[in-house]
A and B are shown apart, each in its own frame.
Chain A
Amino acid sequence: MSTYFDVNRRKFLKTSASAAGALLVGTYFVGAAPRVLAGVLSEPSTQAKQANLFVALRPDGIVEVTCHRSEMGQQIRTAIAQIVADEMEADWSMVKVIQGKGDPKYGDQNTDGSRSIRYNMQRLREMGASVRYMMQHAAAARWDVAPDTCVAKQHTVTHSSGKTLSYKDLVRDALTYTPPGNDAIELKDRSEWRYINTGMAHIDLHDIVTGKATFAADVLEPKALVAVILRPPVVGGTIKKVDASAAKAIKGVVDIVEIPAPKGALQFQPKGGVAVIAENTWSAWQGRKALNVEWNDGENGRYNSEKFKQQLLDTVSQPQQHVREKGDAVSVLEKAEDKLVADYYIPHLAQAPMEPPCATAMFSNNRVEVWAATQNPQADMATVATMVGIPKENVLVHVTLLGGGFGRKSKPDFSAEAAYLSMKTGQPIRVQWTREDDIQHGFYHAVSAQHVEATLDDNGAIQAYLHRTAFSPIAGLFQENANAPMDFELGLGFTDNPINTPNLKLEVGNAKAMVRVGWMRSVSNIFHAFAIQSFIAEAAHKAGKDQKDYLLATIGPDRILNVSEQGAEYGNYGGDKTDYPLDISRLRHVIEKVADMASWGRKMPKGRGLGIAAHRSFLTYVATVVEVEVSDSGELTVIKSWSAIDAGTVVNTDTVKNQVQGGSIFGMTAALSEGITFDKGRAQQSNFHDYRVPRMSDAPLEVEVEIVPSEAPPAGVGEPATPVFAPALCNAIFAACGKRIRHLPIGNQLKT
């Protein structure tokens, strides 16, 4: 069913009969201020505009809530339904979720940056409340009583006399109503919430445990040919010579198609290469193995990550351009007799979602229909449109469940590959990435070096602090030859450094990415928090103070930190600085809370240690304590971790806990994994045997999480637990065995 909303006539229109007579409520952006509008169904109209977000109450009582954000395990489908159903007083058993397709009229659909709830909670509440209002008023009219004598609860309106009407029996009446304006509706008081702020089970749970959930590779219609692609091993590489004769001889292989190399800034364009198209996945895979291709590598063929590491470390050893300054850190440090100096390093990492990228596309009559595991279907529309040379309005993107995203699937090169191959062959095509493709042709987490130096006063407090960062910037995707990070990359844990000291200087060095660099869960917060939180623990040790007490003293007293006053360009994750100030009291609170949870300060047996780290990211405050054991021979065991999170208002408490548990374990990747290294521009890892991600044997079996109760506006949940884990872990290792890990991965450093 397609449903359209005619803004001028304030009406919803439909193009099929399946939901005839359903009451629909949507939000349409009018300028900057979203308003809730509702309307009645009528016949299709060529004038119609599509509703961008809506809830449909059907005559059978079923509530259909559209989820326009992508589901990758954060349970956004459930959260959106919880919010709408709560405000409309829907019976949860009557709620269904419809996955929205890519459409700019929804507003932002880019499911990254931990912002789905922050961007949408208010309008979702208003939509739900609007339906409740109409139910209440329709019942009042039916009974000819004052609306304030009627109460709408759980799909039923009850009059003060005790008589009741079900929502489904009021749909027809409500269809004739002019929907209420925002001034007429009343949102529920928090104390009346029945779904929001509970840990209710997610709506896809049964489908997942029975194997019925549909991920990108599970799309059976349209029946597609399968493409497996041999891509140039070096970014920017091109095809020199192809011998496909052996590939064509493989049974089931039907076609070989060359994909052009990207032009201009890389953005999300496919890398190019040679596609083997076959009747089934195995034949396509075998066909690819039989291809014989010679490549021109281009200038990125020089990329060697070991040399690049040294280049980054050299860069941060020299003065660089400053992005924030207070006092005169440089002269204080020059005069200091005793300084603490440390360099930190983290290699490239791969997101490695469990489902490798996959998309199906069908090209016909200058239009493309795509089924993809995408975090950002509007990016698929744009990337596909450019790839096949049609207007993006002609690209229809269906969003499947994502088998993990972590930032990889916000870059839809795989959808563009499928669309291009479908255009060339005239057949529906499913592009299946193998794990090797995922590891070797990714959009990697930036490789980074950090240099920090400080001098302490007589009380051990940081008197002057200098921090330089250098990393391969994401900026390189969008601008050819970009060699400096964009402000947003620095706003992820660098410019918003919370250290309270009279002299502070933050500097940024240049570096040019020679591979595709892209977002990975929590992005540059990973290396910035690692350096800052490791360094504070190092300073605590130098000052002879308790790590937790010193951390609290170092971030200073309760206050709002306005880094712009120190010259920083700080975007605050796009959040209003009044609604979402950088509030040191909230950071202090999670530290105190987690210390309490972990019984911080208890006596530890030999070989065991506790480490702590705290960080604000995505407008959320997280503090984590990790307990480890390091044996005499250097074997590391992560025993347990504790996290306190203050994300403001939260929708699903169990999801928040699950995200913090998972985000913590994801954060172990940086500590455990050798990362992705490159020689001659080629990734040297290929699958999970050499790109190590945490397994159950690595992970703590207890990850205790507490959510700070808060009525503050909702902030991010999916990412903020990740940046603190590696520094808390390394601080725990130091406490356990006295070895300080500054360069990740940990590797053999505990064994020497």
Chain B
Amino acid sequence: MVTFSVNGKTHEFNGDPTTPVLWYLRDELNLTGPKFGCGMAQCGACTVHIDGTAQRSCVLPLAAVAGKKITTIEGLSKDGEHPVQQAWVEHKVPQCGFCQCGQMMQAASLLASNSNPSDDEIVANMSGNICRCGTYPRIHKAIKSAAKTMSANNGVNYFNPNDTEASA
């Protein structure tokens, strides 16, 4: 049995521990924000946070998340308030939208560890996430906007589903 939390709620899994986190989230929990795009960590559509850091859930076995906190786009904020999501709206980034949950989770993880990334750092951090619609110029701009918002709001706490007090 594997125990972990998803968006602040504890879950237990008794099945095949090699099952990738993505399929558990989608098929068992009906959390369809993380997407299936390649199944081999090449495109980033499935990106979720494991203890706050972006990881590709399509190749991550459930056995590897024992005791860890999984956050999906559904848990990034209550209703799109995260500065990254707001920057995505401000810059009207999405076209088809399929890759964008993964893009935003990757961007949120980047900004959590580097509040003021350079242009090149953004490119280096985001180039594992494919957008076939080609929204890269807007993604790049949106990340810079979000970085500004987050530094201006320094000290303000954003919704954290893993923080039981905040979500209570």
Contacts from A to B (Cβ < 8 Å): 71-75, 199, 201-202, 204-206, 208-215, 217-218, 220, 226, 251, 280-282, 285, 352-356, 401-406, 432, 434-436, 654, 658-659, 661-666, 687-689, 693-697, 699-703
Alpha-carbon distance between A664 and B133 when the two chains are bound, in angstroms: 10
Q: Which residue of B lies closest to A652 (CB)?
A: B92
Task: State how many angstroms separate the Cβ of A227 from the closest Cβ of chain B.
Answer: 14
Give 14 pairs: A residue, B residue, CB < 8 Å, sorted on A: A73-B94, A205-B94, A209-B85, A220-B32, A226-B27, A282-B20, A282-B23, A353-B98, A354-B37, A401-B97, A688-B40, A688-B130, A696-B140, A703-B137
Alpha-carbon distance between A202 and B89 when the two chains are bound, in angstroms: 10
A696: B residues at CB distance < 8 A:
122-123, 126-127, 129, 136, 139-140
A663: B residues at CB distance < 8 A:
134
Alpha-carbon distance between A436 and B36 when the two chains are bound, in angstroms: 12
Alpha-carbon distance between A694 and B137 when the two chains are bound, in angstroms: 12
Task: State how many angstroms separate the Cβ of A200 from the closest Cβ of chain B.
Answer: 9
* Given A354-B96, A666-B133, 5 further pairs, Cβ under 8 A: A282-B16, A352-B132, A354-B45, A355-B98, A665-B136
- Is the pair A282, B27 in contact by a Cβ cutoff of 8 Å? yes
- Is the pair B92, A202 in contact by a Cβ cutoff of 8 Å? yes
A405: B residues at CB distance < 8 A:
96
- Is the pair B123, A206 in contact by a Cβ cutoff of 8 Å? no
Q: Does B99 contact A (CB under 8 A)?
A: yes
Known: A206-B89, A402-B96, A435-B39. A218 touches B130 (CB 8 A): no
Task: State how many angstroms separate the Cβ of A40 from the closest Cβ of chain B.
Answer: 38
Task: State how many angstroms separate the Cβ of A195 from the closest Cβ of chain B.
Answer: 15
- Is the pair A72, B96 in contact by a Cβ cutoff of 8 Å? yes
- Is the pair B92, A658 in contact by a Cβ cutoff of 8 Å? yes
Task: State how many angstroms separate the Cβ of B100 from the closest Cβ of chain A.
Answer: 6
Q: Does B12 contact A (CB under 8 A)?
A: no
Size class of B's contact patch?
A: 35 or more
Q: Does B150 contact A (CB under 8 A)?
A: no
Task: State how many angstroms separate the Cβ of B67 from the closest Cβ of chain A.
Answer: 22
- Is the pair B132, A354 in contact by a Cβ cutoff of 8 Å? yes
Query: Which residues of B (64-99) have their CB < 8 Å from a CB of A?
Result: 72-74, 77, 79-80, 85, 88-89, 92, 94-99
- Is the pair A211, B38 in contact by a Cβ cutoff of 8 Å? no
Q: Does B115 contact A (CB under 8 A)?
A: no
Task: State how many angstroms separate the Cβ of B121 from the closest Cβ of chain A.
Answer: 12
Known: A210-B73, A210-B79, A281-B23. A697 touches B96 (CB 8 A): no
Known: A210-B80, A699-B134. A74 touches B95 (CB 8 A): yes
- Is the pair A701, B123 in contact by a Cβ cutoff of 8 Å? yes
- Is the pair B36, A353 in contact by a Cβ cutoff of 8 Å? no
Interface string of B90-126 (1 = CB under 8 A from A): 0010111111110010000000000000010011101
Q: Which residue of B lies closest to A686 (CB)?
A: B40
- Is the pair B97, A406 in contact by a Cβ cutoff of 8 Å? no
Q: Identify which of A215, A658, A701 contacts B35 (C-beta below 8 A).
A: A215
B16: A residues at CB distance < 8 A:
251, 282
Known: A209-B104, A688-B38. A201 touches B92 (CB 8 A): yes
A251: B residues at CB distance < 8 A:
15-16
Task: State how many angstroms separate the Cβ of B43 from the closest Cβ of chain A.
Answer: 6
Closest 5 CB pairs of A and B: A211-B33, A665-B134, A403-B98, A73-B95, A73-B96
- Is the pair A404, B96 in contact by a Cβ cutoff of 8 Å? yes
Q: Identify which of B15, B26, B97, B135 contacts A403 (C-beta below 8 A).
A: B97
Alpha-carbon distance between A251 and B20 when the two chains are bound, in angstroms: 15
